[in-house]
Structure 1
């Protein structure tokens, strides 16, 4: 019975797949020929390449996928080879994949090309056979990143390893770990043990982070965690086997409450000795038209020599743990209202002839860059580093739209594009009545329009791009996956595939197949693309779907709609006393969307 279910699933997944396999990210070139290769569940490897950790991992993953999806007995021959004469068109990460009657053949210039070729083969395992084809493939940009915020909410080493598995399968090659923030310090620093003894722990609260009530006197600060240095070494080694570099971020001088609580002398504020790690309480920061006003001083003080002694030791240990050539120093959203009343900072400004507090931060960043360089690393930070005068060799990660990246590239600084309006995957991804409350919405279709090299920018200064997952409203790893997928698929295609190969309707079909693969592998994902937005204008209710081909059923009589309910065909007027509008989407007679329940009073207000 189980075998029959697997066969039926494979047949479902395989509809029209021999016409054009549904690969994400879309390959540079794919030619499908007549004929198919029957698959047997026993993989026969043919290669004389040394079995490194990366190849061993990729082989093990592929063999596991064969066992999940291929039920026919027999062997499938897979050969791996490195070109004796380099193929300059595919570079270090590209590969050539050929499937013919003899089996599956992957060739590359480097081992990581073989690894990516094997990831493509894993996506083909949706049927008892695969088509004869030739794929020549290589990435558009070199930096293909995903950021995971482990500071607001902590995720275990095992969960981060699973995340590495998932992003590497779609050819991401950088995992940016946001390791420190007001809500937690997540990396063991042996020179400063209180950073994790004290700074890694907050009060456990649930609801909307940033709107919690104040912690009561005597509340237990036991929610959180941290990575030991051995944990970090394990993560780095695991990522390396997936050809993923880990970028560590120590966010300074703002967002530093966890460090200030552990070592109050890093602050210029006397009250710092009474501070606690931020647990998401309301009123921690005020966002105004004139900038950020902090209720508590969550900054490292640029005028104190002991701050630079602290950072020198911290970055020495961080540099020793992470082989990647960059260290991220944050630099974003630094509230300066406490600096404005600090006489030591006033003296510093007079001594260094600093005209404003943006130049004070720039002074700080330049001293930090010298520390980073002394550890053999390059400094990278958020686009606020451009304010007040950018550090000489800084790489800029542009998050406030594309403007900062364009400005940095024009100044001949290297750039990683990560604009919030395209790749902030903590934003609401579907109908807002089904999602956690976040201040912005980012549908997958908008993500798919991301171009890591903006028009008019010299591509030589753009290292690549990255999506960012901030976790204020993400409390567990299942939600991490849910927020990442399927939008992460869109990011992967934007970073790897040529713009000319991108096609939204085709991409949607591919996503539908990959959702089935995620079901197979128990990866959580959001079906939000099937759930329309709803607007009410001039008394008429309009459903705005993200994808084509949906049949949207609705009810206004407090019932739960199904395929027999009213079908949306055009904008309509809501009944005068209706209190609840509910919508559910079908495709080809099958329910694909969740039921969206919208209070009519809320709809009228919005």
Structure 2
């Protein structure tokens, strides 16, 4: 975001009185401890920044603190007596409870002091300070940061978001912006879903057809899975990929923001883009196009052939280059939703199973995953897979990412494996976040409140085995960057707090109070977000007399809902919803409802046809 644009947004913030009315800073994620003091520190263009050279932050401090808040702060190594400054201090001996990612932030009338054991801690302290600046505007180019003492450190090591770039390709600059947005809220893992049935997005120099063929498909718009398959002479012109230089740039960009990138190469299922490039990889050997979003499961063979040694040679080449590019400890290999139909139909595969003494196709997938783990270990990497890798027997040192609820994580932890919790009912960011009548087309539902009110540690699981949690943005129904942001925020604000803050500091009522101030922070950063939590959601059922009953609600507490049944738009003179299900007369054409806060409409107008409500009723 350009500096002049930031200044316009920040100036607009000055008129927003709700921020300054907060008695407690609306920081997300909630710090471990905040002790409020007296007075405030005034930040303006005369404020100096004192940065230790060993921290390596000099080149980025203007972006993180200065330009983003519309300030021209001077970076110095020392200040004169009485000169006000923001001072960053690296102190390896900083006492407990702060650890390597933690920090102490002290604000007095004379100085802002950020202390940390390591640069990561200073970075997170700066993110808190950035929020405090935008939450406390006084006038243009001047901010009044309340005096306080903050002690802060994360609950979990793994605080991730996943972006699927296979279903739709997202340019390098957007990926960088997504990483910036993550860093603002102290996420530290970017899970990059680089390959799937609809596109191969990473350059592999030893296998050029992966991007020459696998990165492109025929263009389609509309509803995912309803698209027509490719025509006989149709040109695959939609897609793209990241060159290895692109990937190096993004990795370096993420590292500057204390984010590790975990690449995912999804195998043995979800491999149609690779098979389109190299047909010998599947058991059928058929020539398939890259899938554009049409129905193909159990029609086209999208699984690698675990009985063919050429597949393992192919994977060795892929993972050799992937491992060399990504410095992190982990590579994600997918392992999910692998159809066994084509293995069952293949004489070659069935003969191989008999030779190896493998009794089931689940056992065959386990054989495959264990082979892949050996390939990764030779390259100094650890394997992560979705919870299906448990089927048939877990690879010896695998980490399980549990997405089909928490059971996979529980089972893996019982076997002594580390786990990352990503249950679809709590963290799948591609789901509806409000009433489908008000939202873009997708499936199922994940409300903001549901994302906030869960724990990444299932009951009975040793927390020491839980690395953390992750939000996942699958992009079948997310064709571009602005919608990706809309689906990510503010549910990822909730997840940031779930992953960082102590459980006893997570409070839904308090989090709701922080939303509006944080929306202004998002506005200043140019991030698109959803306000669906303020919108009315209609649910329906039939009573014993087959009357249609409709219940109305919002995620945000203490909102008033007004509704009409006569096709007019409601205002505060309309019927107020009192929590009792509404009987919808048979003659009623549609229900209209809207949420209000202190007499002012705050949510979108919901127009729900009776026909739609009937379909929702069991």
In the superposition, the TM-score normalised over structure 1's length comes to 0.94
- 2:194 corresponds, among 163, 168, 179, to 179
1:22 shift after superposition? 0.5
- 1:267 corresponds, among 272, 277, 282, to 282
Give the equivalent residue in structure 1 for 2:290: 277
- 1:308 corresponds, among 309, 312, 327, to 312
For the residues of structure 2 that align with 1:360 and 1:7, how far apart are their CA atoms? 60
8 Å CA contact 1:13–1:516 kept in 2: the answer is no
Q: Does 1:122 align with 2:119?
A: no
1:560 shift after superposition? 3.5
Structure 1 pair 390–4 and aligned structure 2 pair: CA distance change class (3 A): closer
Question: Residues 71-104 of structure 1: CA distance to partner in whole angstroms, max 9, x if unpaired?
Answer: xxx9962100011523231110000000001121
- 1:457 corresponds, among 437, 450, 461, to 461
Judge which range, 229-238 or 595-604, deviates more: 595-604
- 1:597 corresponds, among 607, 611, 614, to 607
Give the alignment of 1:83-98 within 5 angstroms. Answer: 83-98=91-106
8 Å CA contact 2:215–2:240 kept in 1: the answer is yes
Give the equivalent residue in structure 1 for 2:120: 112
For the residues of structure 1 that align with 2:8 and 2:427, how far apart are their CA atoms? 40
Give the equivalent residue in structure 2 for 1:288: none
- 1:235 corresponds, among 228, 250, 255, to 250
8 Å CA contact 1:41–1:66 kept in 2: the answer is no
8 Å CA contact 1:421–1:442 kept in 2: the answer is yes
For the residues of structure 1 that align with 2:92 and 2:328, how far apart are their CA atoms? 29
1:453 shift after superposition? 1.6
Judge which range, 5-14 or 467-476, deviates more: 5-14
Q: Does 1:168 align with 2:183?
A: yes
1:33 shift after superposition? 1.4
Give the equivalent residue in structure 2 for 1:192: 207
8 Å CA contact 2:229–2:291 kept in 1: the answer is no
Give the equivalent residue in structure 2 for 1:159: 174
8 Å CA contact 2:10–2:524 kept in 1: the answer is no
Give the equivalent residue in structure 2 for 1:9: 14
8 Å CA contact 2:433–2:447 kept in 1: the answer is yes
1:181 shift after superposition? 0.2
Give the alignment of 1:495-506 within 5 angstroms. Answer: 495-506=499-510
**SS state at 2:20 partner:** coil
Give the equivalent residue in structure 1 for 2:491: 487
8 Å CA contact 1:533–1:543 kept in 2: the answer is yes
For the residues of structure 2 that align with 1:136 and 1:55, how far apart are their CA atoms? 24
Structure 1 pair 84–363 and aligned structure 2 pair: CA distance change class (3 A): closer
Q: Does 1:543 align with 2:546?
A: no
1:452 shift after superposition? 1.5
Structure 1 pair 449–392 and aligned structure 2 pair: CA distance change class (3 A): same
For the residues of structure 1 that align with 2:131 and 2:605, how far apart are their CA atoms? 30
1:562 shift after superposition? 4.2
1:8 shift after superposition? 6.2
For the residues of structure 2 that align with 1:374 and 1:42, how far apart are their CA atoms? 54
**SS state at 2:35 partner:** strand
Give the equivalent residue in structure 2 for 1:64: 67
Give the equivalent residue in structure 2 for 1:567: 576
For the residues of structure 2 that align with 1:4 and 1:599, how far apart are their CA atoms? 39
Q: Does 1:40 align with 2:44?
A: yes
For the residues of structure 1 that align with 2:448 and 2:164, how far apart are their CA atoms? 20
8 Å CA contact 1:319–1:377 kept in 2: the answer is yes
1:43 shift after superposition? 3.9
Question: Residues 368-413 of structure 1: CA distance to partner in whole angstroms, max 9, x if unpaired?
Answer: 1110001110111111111101111111111111101111111011
For the residues of structure 1 that align with 2:83 and 2:517, how far apart are their CA atoms? 25
8 Å CA contact 1:41–1:76 kept in 2: the answer is no
Which 5+ residue runs of structure 1 have no aligned equivalent?
286-293
Question: Residues 218-245 of structure 1: CA distance to partner in whole angstroms, max 9, x if unpaired?
Answer: 2221101000000000000000000000
CA RMSD, aligned part only?
2.0
1:213 shift after superposition? 2.2
Which 5+ residue runs of structure 2 have no aligned equivalent?
1-6, 74-81, 139-143
**SS state at 1:338 partner:** helix
Judge which range, 512-521 or 101-110, deviates more: 512-521
Judge which range, 86-95 or 145-154, deviates more: 86-95
8 Å CA contact 2:9–2:523 kept in 1: the answer is no
For the residues of structure 1 that align with 2:457 and 2:90, how far apart are their CA atoms? 31
1:480 shift after superposition? 0.6
For the residues of structure 2 that align with 1:84 and 1:278, how far apart are their CA atoms? 52
1:11 shift after superposition? 4.6
**SS state at 2:44 partner:** coil
Judge which range, 370-379 or 585-594, deviates more: 585-594
1:494 shift after superposition? 0.4
Q: Does 1:553 align with 2:562?
A: yes
**SS state at 1:217 partner:** coil
Judge which range, 560-569 or 30-39, deviates more: 560-569
8 Å CA contact 2:196–2:266 kept in 1: the answer is yes
Give the alignment of 1:48-59 within 5 angstroms. Answer: 48-50=52-54, 52=56, 54=57, 56-59=59-62
For the residues of structure 2 that align with 1:75 and 1:583, how far apart are their CA atoms? 56
Question: Residues 564-589 of structure 1: CA distance to partner in whole angstroms, max 9, x if unpaired?
Answer: 54433354333442222222222123
For the residues of structure 2 that align with 1:533 and 1:526, how far apart are their CA atoms? 14
1:552 shift after superposition? 1.8
1:175 shift after superposition? 0.2
8 Å CA contact 1:552–1:586 kept in 2: the answer is yes
**SS state at 1:39 partner:** strand
Give the equivalent residue in structure 2 for 1:367: 371
1:512 shift after superposition? 1.6
